[in-house]
Amino acid sequence: MSVHQGPCNGLREGDSDMKYWRTPLDADQVRIPHGTVRIIEDQCKGCGFCVEYCPKGVLAVSEAFNRKGYHPPKIVKEGECVNCTLCEMICPDFAIFSVSLPAGAAEQAH
C-alpha cells in the first residue's frame, strides 16, 4: 500500500504514527500543564467514565472494592496527567478531581 506524502499528512510508506510536516514556530514556548489526580474512593460508584475518557490513559479500574462494593479507579500512569479536568467534569458522583502542579514540579518528579 502506498501512502502519498504531502504537506498535510507528512507520512511515508510504512509510517504508522502521525507526524508533523514542520515544527510549530512557538514549540519552544508551549508548556504542557501537569497535574495529579485525586480519587475519593468511597464516593465512587464505579461507572468507569473517568477511565474511558481520560485522554492520557492515566486511570484504570481497580481490582479492590470500596465501602459500597464498587471498583473505583486507580492511577496507573503517575506523572502523565495533563490536568485537563475531564475526569472531574464527567464524574457523576464528584469522586475524582485533578490538582494543578507547579510548572517545574513535573520535570523534578521524573
Local confidence pLDDT in tens for the 110 residues of the chain? 444 444 554 545 544 456 768 888 888 888 889 999 999 999 999 999 999 999 999 999 999 999 999 999 999 999 899 999 999 999 999 999 999 998 766 555 55
pLDDT at 2: 46
74 vs 84: CA distance, rounded Å? 17
pLDDT at 29: 86
Does the pTM surpass 0.75? The reply is no
Query: Is position 42 within any domain?
Result: yes
Query: Is position 13 within any domain?
Result: no
Query: Is position 100 within any domain?
Result: yes
**Domain CATH for 47:** 3.30.70.20
Cβ atoms of residues 61 and 48 within 8 Å? yes
11 vs 62: CA distance, rounded Å? 38
Q: Which domain holds residue 43?
A: 35-109
Query: Is position 90 within any domain?
Result: yes
**CA dihedral of residues 105, 106, 107, 110 (deg, nearest 10):** 120
If phi over 0 gives left and psi between -120 and 50 gives alpha, with beta otherwise, what is residue 27?
A: alpha
Query: Is position 80 within any domain?
Result: yes
Number of structural domains, the chain?
1
pLDDT at 1: 45
66 vs 96: CA distance, rounded Å? 14
